[in-house]
Amino acid sequence: MTVSVVSPGGLCLADEPHYAASMMKVPVLVALHRAADAGTLDLEAPVPVVNAFTSATGTRFSCDPGYDNEHDVWDRLGSAAPARWLARRMIVRSSNLATNLLLALVGLPAVAEAWRVAGATGSVTGRGIEDSAAEAAGITNTVTAADLALLFGGLLAGTVASPAACAEMLDVLAAQELREDLALGVPAGVRVAYKSGWVDGVRHSAGVVLPPDAPPYVLAVCTTGVPDAAAVIARISKEAWEERR
């Protein structure tokens, strides 16, 4: 059982690696906007919506719609959608299909660069979601609370991409359609730009909280093997809120 925390109140096992779950979607978002900043990608250009991807092992794989939290992207299967729209669905409803489409668009090296620019040292995005061949080969996605805090801190500071792109990404992260985990620790109506991720035995949440009466702060919590982890994260978030001044 491991709980890793980076909060205004201090650090706890901040560099402990955890399986990333859907937290890997945040560096994919950053990589996408960095490519748009560089002029190598148009966020409004249509991306074919397919369900066939190249594994990190070089084989092919696809996603299971039953394993996805989002269905609007699946409704466009066989057609196309703008990268910006896919990015929003990847975050606000945690679409797995949109994630793999965007990861194929930007490439794993661009995601590694997004981590590097943030200053991360212990997080790796090695494969797409449901890439079982890569998983069997030991290729995985890991995060640390420290690196997630650096990534969200870079979004807040406007340093992991252009300031305009960082502001847009924070807006998307603040538009979550399900309020949970970190967001439950702050009063309703407080702006929180965050992402949560979970699989069996793993639950994480990280983001930027923007109080109306104090400076914004970054909070990152990663848990592995923790019973009722959502409630644990909400309690830690509440404690951080109470220490905000």
pLDDT of residue 69: 87
The span from the CA of 72 to the CA of 41, in Å, is 23
pLDDT of residue 13: 95
Q: Over the stretch 99-130, which tens digit does the pLDDT of each residue have?
A: 999 999 999 999 999 999 999 999 999 999 99
pLDDT of residue 245: 74
pLDDT of residue 134: 97
What six digits make up the tokens of 210?
Answer: 């923007």
The span from the CA of 238 to the CA of 245, in Å, is 13
Looking at domain 2-242, which CATH architecture does it have? 3-Layer(aba) Sandwich (3.40)
pLDDT of residue 57: 97
Could you tell me the residue ranges of all domains in the chain? 2-242
pLDDT of residue 26: 98
Of 172, 163, 187, 179, nearest to 230 (Cα)?
Answer: 179
Of 141, 140, 153, 122, nearest to 13 (Cα)?
Answer: 122
pLDDT of residue 1: 80
Under-70 pLDDT residues of the chain: none
Sign of the four-CA dihedral 180, 238, 163, 144: negative
Of 103, 118, 113, nearest to 153 (Cα)?
Answer: 118
